[in-house]
Structure 1
Amino acid sequence: MAALLDLLLHGLKGLAIYADKARALDARNTVADMFLIEGLFTTVTNVDFDPVQLAGKLRRCYDLKEQVKALYEGAWREKQGGTPAAITDGPAAWVIADTLEGLVAQGETCGVKSLHSDPDILSSIEIIIYGLKGMAAYANHACILGKTDEEVFAFFHSALAATTDPNKGLMDFVGIAMECGKLNIKVMGMLNEGHVERYGHPVPTKVQLGTRKNKGILVSGHDLRMLEEILKQTEGKGIDIYTHGEMIPAHGYPALKKYPHLYANFGGAWQDQHKEFQSFPGAIIFNTNCIQRPADSYKDRLFTWGEVGWPGVKHIAGWHFDEVINKALECPDLPDAPGKEILTGFGHNAVLGVADKVIEAVKGGAVKHFFLIGGCDGAKSGRNYYTEFAEKVPKDCIILTLACGKYRFNKLEFGDIGGIPRLLDVGQCNDAYSAVQIALALAGAFNCGVNDLPLSFILSWYEQKAHVILLSLLYLGIKDIKLGPMLPAYLSPNVLQFLVSNFNISQIGTVDADLKASLGQ
């Protein structure tokens, strides 16, 4: 699978090269534009593990690359006359193998270390590629909601094509990486707009963590449109819908919470699914990344959708979920076991709705500092740091959190400051857009820059969506970010030093030391 994913990235580069050249001649293929985003999303961590499904995407990638090549050559003949010079090597010249074994062999020749011989340029290229992968995930969700943008499509083409250009130097790639951060803010804004137009602004909402006696479907992932369709198709059928992982913010959207059978959130972060899913007796479906090897105890009631795939697991194509619904009806009822409730739904609209109260609390000294603690969670040791940090944040400080990193501490009791909850769940990883809007609004209210606010960023990372959010924060000029549990392995020493020198980014240390540094003690 690693080789096939490397080959898909290689093929997407070829598609991007021709799409970029065609676009320069005002020729576009909207199907190829969409596939490039879908293909990049497929290569994100823990999305597609099915070699047969991936081989089909490789064939489609090659066919579209050839179509866009013909589009480019036709546009050249029309505008320039004659035929453009042929591209005889690199991703644009890729010819797909006929067998799965052949595809694997091709993929083994185009891994990471084949990208460049200079370690610093290789590092900068990887930063761009991982940024594009993460941004593609958000762009994919936005497209599903009908939000597309020509500038975004054009950047995907030009940036991915640039990673194959031997004439570009280190600072060229640094500039592209910053541009990726900039465009990702636009993409997250498009996704936010799509969510709000369809579902309304999130509102603070209590979410049940227990179960009740009824049939159940557990929805894991990020895609709200897919959840909406399942809610519609299960109305009146005696099935409760449970969210998992990054789906918990769905409970805060008015147009989704109106469904009484959107009942509760089950389980925690993605890495615990192999233990938790065994105790969920209903049907389970993944609509985006974070799938793990399923246990035999629930594999027969597991489904995938969208770009997700796993060998031997039924994949649902399209928007009809009858098979999932029928499986849920065949399964036993969930136990009647109510649990505690936690709050979600503190998007920027909800927080800024009480901005005057927050600002007054800061000016009056009731709130001393804000901490954004969140990001991707993971299974390796060291991530208990974020739980300990949240627990040790002083009582006169407010914690903003988002993404699955919040599951390290979102079930703890933090209380409130003058009626303002001390823990504000901003939403999914893409709702970093809301966190940015909150920070910018506070900076405007206090007539200062974001870096001058009593605000610290304590971020956990695991995969490419967290990576592109970091690029967005760097584009905004945000400094002093603490990142962990470890720094990305694709940062060469010189590139890391560039980030340290320009942004004072650093790896997390001990909780006590990092807290003191954040509070200026």
Structure 2
Amino acid sequence: MENKMFCFQCEQTMRGTGCTGCAGVCGKSAAAADLQDELTSALIGLARVCQTNAPTAQTHRLVLEALFTTITNVNFDESTIQIMIDRVRAEKAALGGQAGDYDVRQIWKADEDIRSLKSLILFGLRGMAAYAYHALMLGRSSEEVDAFFLKGLAALGEDWGMDELLPIVMETGKVNLTCMALLDEANTTAYGTPTPTTVPLTIEKGPFIIVTGHDLKDLELLLKQTEGKGINIYTHGEMLPAHGYPLLKKYGHLKGNFGTAWQNQQKEFDNVPGAILFTTNCLMPPRSSYSDRVFTTEVVSYPGLVHIGEDKDFTPVIEKALALGGYSEEQHFTGINGGTTVMTGFGHGTVLSVADKVIDAVKGGAIKHFFLVGGCDGARPGRNYYTDFVKQTPADTVILTLACGKYRFNDLDLGTIGGLPRIMDMGQCNDAYSAIKVAVALSEAFGCGVNDLPLTLVLSWYEQKAVCILLTLLYLGLKNIYLGPTLPAFVSPNVLNFLVENYNITPISTPEEDLKKILG
């Protein structure tokens, strides 16, 4: 196995072109990266067999798990990736497929425009797989979504040109909209419609567990298993929106939120006297000062860490929290801007319930413009743009936000308009669906197209979930999107020109220049 790699699927990639050495910037080894390529190749082989041989429910679930495994900051463990490869190949054989896989590395060496379009499809599928997996954990699936994973993967193995691939790129966005709607329905059916909730950043004394990632089902199971044990539960990163769901809020030991965005974890988790559970993508290589208290579950895996399997017995996590004992005194933490609380729970159910107030505020001139400022956060310099942008927005504008990018500014107090806070956290990255629902409802209320609304999307991207969401926005025809902090390395100049000419995607510049351009 070669001791080098090629990976350019995330925003932090080396020199903005691709990680090619012995390890990726994310900490993934060249060997793990090579195995993830092998896993993707096996998936393409399985999907091609499924074009003629009927897949089973087991096939569909395996495809989700395997795609999820290849998302950035999920799996660093060579042994578990190899097990997944073996499972995919066994499934292919069970369906009548022959030995041998398409080599995904052919894509990296292809014509840059073909490479660009196939990368958009592959990375979009990876992001969408996470959403479909979370929905499946709550008992929801879609034949349309399941079928498209196989269609999209099979397309990657075809010798197609831009005319054949571009429709698949746009279909990825279309199907991801269905997938986000599916997950939204799964979450709200299981846990109720989110309601606005103020979440403290204070950590009470005594034993505690920090839960990070996106999987609400894992959080619910942990809350059930820790009831009456004297252990408090705190969310971290993308788990923050859990506080808005009524059936999760009912657990009195779900106390608050610990820390800020995922990329700060190595500093914020340093010697923390609590246990930490990773449920999805956001894992960074843990430092020795806290690696003994980190646990993984689902497809998240890292060498040497204790993994909680399908039985979901969180006893090891609970015992570690009790042994560590927590802080001896209450700890008062703050957000990046010094705030002591944050708010969440402004999903489409809440915002649309007060749509008349919002519409009246727009018609009366109290609200002049909406900004959707959100997306993935990361460590690359330049992301302070989003903090500065929000700080400089006029007092007669509203900031909708979602995903972990909000940690740049979600502890700011920017006041209210018509009784509504100027910053409204709509939830996790998949809750882009909520933003879409609100935008469509507003456009219908004003009798105009979404692109005619006083609405601007200012997005930050990091990994593959952001890719599939961007494709959904493009499928819906949304234009004038500001994107940063850098443009994806896998988008070729010709494909970028196509996006700019057809959708007016604009790279961010400075907050001052962009606000002037947007607001005139």
Please tell me whether the aligned partners of residues 116 and 490 of structure 2 are also in contact (alpha carbons under 8 angstroms): yes
Cα shift readout 1:309-329 (whole Å, capped 9, x = no counterpart): 000001110221111111111
TM-score scaled by length of structure 1: 0.91
| 2:125 is the counterpart of 1:132 | yes
**Who is 2:239 aligned against?**
247
Cα shift readout 1:288-328 (whole Å, capped 9, x = no counterpart): 01100101111111100000000000111022111111111
Shift in Å, 1:159:
1.1
Instruction: Return the match for 1:322 from 309, 315, 319.
Output: 315
Please tell me whether the aligned partners of residues 219 and 241 of structure 1 are also in contact (alpha carbons under 8 angstroms): yes
Q: CA, structure 1 residues 381+512, in 2 after alignment: closer, same or farther (shift >3 Å)?
A: same
Distance in 2 separating the partners of 1:458 and 1:59: 41
Shift in Å, 1:413:
1.2
Distance in 2 separating the partners of 1:279 and 1:435: 38
Within a 5 Å distance, the mapping from 1:53-452 to structure 2 comes to 53-69=80-96, 90-91=101-102, 110=103, 112=105, 114-115=107-108, 117-166=110-159, 168-318=160-310, 319-334=312-327, 335-338=329-332, 340-452=340-452
Q: CA, structure 1 residues 88+30, in 2 after alignment: closer, same or farther (shift >3 Å)?
A: closer
Distance in 1 separating the partners of 2:316 and 2:486: 42
Please tell me whether the aligned partners of residues 12 and 36 of structure 1 are also in contact (alpha carbons under 8 angstroms): yes
Please tell me whether the aligned partners of residues 3 and 111 of structure 1 are also in contact (alpha carbons under 8 angstroms): no
Cα shift readout 1:382-427 (whole Å, capped 9, x = no counterpart): 0000000000000000000000000001111111012110000000
Report the secondary structure of 2:269's partner residue. helix
| 2:22 is the counterpart of 1:29 | no
Shift in Å, 1:55:
1.2
Report the secondary structure of 2:260's partner residue. coil
Distance in 2 separating the partners of 1:418 and 1:155: 43
**Who is 2:3 aligned against?**
none
Cα shift readout 1:495-517 (whole Å, capped 9, x = no counterpart): 11111111011110111111111
1:307 alignment partner AA: V
Unaligned regions of 5+ residues in structure 2, if any?
1-31, 334-339
Cα shift readout 1:69-117 (whole Å, capped 9, x = no counterpart): 25xxxxxxxxxxxxxxxx68652xxxxxxxxxxxxxxxxxx46454553
Distance in 2 separating the partners of 1:20 and 1:193: 29
Shift in Å, 1:282:
0.7
Distance in 1 separating the partners of 2:136 and 2:441: 28
Q: CA, structure 1 residues 316+267, in 2 after alignment: closer, same or farther (shift >3 Å)?
A: same
**Who is 2:72 aligned against?**
45
Distance in 1 separating the partners of 2:216 and 2:451: 33
Report the secondary structure of 1:381's partner residue. coil
Distance in 2 separating the partners of 1:58 and 1:111: 14
Distance in 1 separating the partners of 2:204 and 2:88: 45
Please tell me whether the aligned partners of residues 115 and 164 of structure 1 are also in contact (alpha carbons under 8 angstroms): no
| 2:508 is the counterpart of 1:514 | no
Cα shift readout 1:28-85 (whole Å, capped 9, x = no counterpart): 3111111001100110001000111111111111111111225xxxxxxxxxxxxxxx
Please tell me whether the aligned partners of residues 426 and 434 of structure 1 are also in contact (alpha carbons under 8 angstroms): yes
Please tell me whether the aligned partners of residues 107 and 115 of structure 2 are also in contact (alpha carbons under 8 angstroms): no
Shift in Å, 1:280:
2.4
Shift in Å, 1:20:
2.3
Distance in 2 separating the partners of 1:250 and 1:49: 27
Please tell me whether the aligned partners of residues 220 and 246 of structure 1 are also in contact (alpha carbons under 8 angstroms): yes
Distance in 1 separating the partners of 2:196 and 2:483: 28
Shift in Å, 1:332:
2.2
Please tell me whether the aligned partners of residues 32 and 68 of structure 1 are also in contact (alpha carbons under 8 angstroms): no
Distance in 2 separating the partners of 1:342 and 1:37: 33
TM-score scaled by length of structure 2: 0.91
1:120 alignment partner AA: D
**Who is 1:101 aligned against?**
none
Please tell me whether the aligned partners of residues 20 and 154 of structure 1 are also in contact (alpha carbons under 8 angstroms): no
Distance in 1 separating the partners of 2:99 and 2:288: 48
Shift in Å, 1:121:
1.1
Shift in Å, 1:214:
1.7
**Who is 1:16 aligned against?**
47
1:336 alignment partner AA: E
2:483 alignment partner AA: L
Unaligned regions of 5+ residues in structure 1, if any?
71-86, 92-109
1:482 alignment partner AA: Y
Report the secondary structure of 1:320's partner residue. coil
Shift in Å, 1:287:
0.3
Distance in 2 separating the partners of 1:190 and 1:361: 32
Greater Rg over alpha carbons, structure: 1
Distance in 2 separating the partners of 1:55 and 1:164: 21
**Who is 1:82 aligned against?**
none
Distance in 1 separating the partners of 2:423 and 2:289: 36
Distance in 1 separating the partners of 2:163 and 2:513: 34
Give the superposed CA RMSD.
1.2
Worse-matched range after superposition: 290-299 or 113-122: 113-122
Equivalent residue pairs, number: 481
Report the secondary structure of 2:322's partner residue. helix
Please tell me whether the aligned partners of residues 45 and 100 of structure 2 are also in contact (alpha carbons under 8 angstroms): no
